[in-house]
Amino acid sequence: MSAQPSFAAPGIQAPGIFAYAGFWRRLVAIIIDWIVLMVAGLVIGFTLGLFLIRGGVSAQSGRTVAKILGMTIGWLYFALMESSVKQATLGKMALGLMVTDLNGGRISFARATGRHFAKIISALLLLIGFVMAGFTSRKQALHDMIASCLVIRQW
């Protein structure tokens, strides 16, 4: 008996075989995401600032509110988008990337939240946790390993 080779249609990955997203593609995606978040932050911050000034809130209290709001928006942006049907932020979509579990499935909001906050560990290690994506066999950064996730290419 000879083993039958398995074939997948062009552009379609065979089950369990993924085209992992490399470091540079992921870097461009995160830069796009930072730009999106900065623009959103400026719009929200300006609007919030007007309300706080009219309400007589001190500058220090306004900065505290802005920091908390900024962290919350960043967390929700990444966690909601990466656990959505698209499985990607706007930056990842622009580069044809998506976040999956180790089997290629959609991740939950809780796992996306864990992945997001695990990025703090990646950053605290002099960004080495991010750079790991360029050197591991499945192109995983430290936060991907912690959350048991993959970032794969769709095209």
Whether residue 5 lies inside any domain: the answer is: no
Residue 97: pLDDT above 50?
yes
Return the higher-pLDDT residue of 154 and 155. 154
Residue ranges of alpha helices (H) inside 83-150 are 90-94, 109-124, 128-131, 142-147
Q: Are 152 and 100 in contact (CB under 8 A)?
A: yes
> At 99, is the secondary structure helix, strand, or coil?
strand
- Grouping H, G, I as helix, E, B as strand and the rest as coil, residue 78 is helix
Domain that residue 55 falls in: 23-153
Residue 97 near residue 149 (C-beta atoms within 8 A):
no
Q: What is the pLDDT of residue 6?
A: 44
| Any domain includes 137 | yes
Q: Is residue 10 part of a domain?
A: no
Mean pLDDT of 119-144: 97
Residue 139 confidence (pLDDT) above 50: yes
Residue 12 lies in a domain: no
User: Is residue 11 situated within a structural domain?
Assistant: no
pLDDT of residue 16: 62
Cα Rg, the chain, nearest whole Å: 19
By the 8 A CB rule, do 150 and 140 touch? Answer: yes
Output the pLDDT for position 1.
Answer: 47
Say what percent of the chain tops pLDDT 70: 90
pLDDT of residue 2: 46
* Separation CA 23–CA 101 (nearest Å): 18
Count of domains for the chain: 1
Q: Is 6 a member of any domain? A: no
If DSSP codes are grouped into helix, strand and coil, which group holds residue 142? helix
In a domain, 7, yes or no: no
pLDDT band at 10 (very low <50, low <70, confident <90, very high): very low
Instruction: State the DSSP H helix or E strand holding residue 98, giving kind and residue range, or none if neither.
Output: strand 97-101
Which pLDDT tens digit goes with each residue over 30-83? 999 999 999 999 999 889 888 888 888 888 888 898 899 999 999 999 999 999
- Domain contains 102: yes
Share of the chain above pLDDT 90, in %: 74
pLDDT over threshold 70, residue 26: yes
Q: How far apart are the first and last CA of the chain?
A: 35
Q: Look at residue 133 in the predicted model and tell me its pLDDT.
A: 97
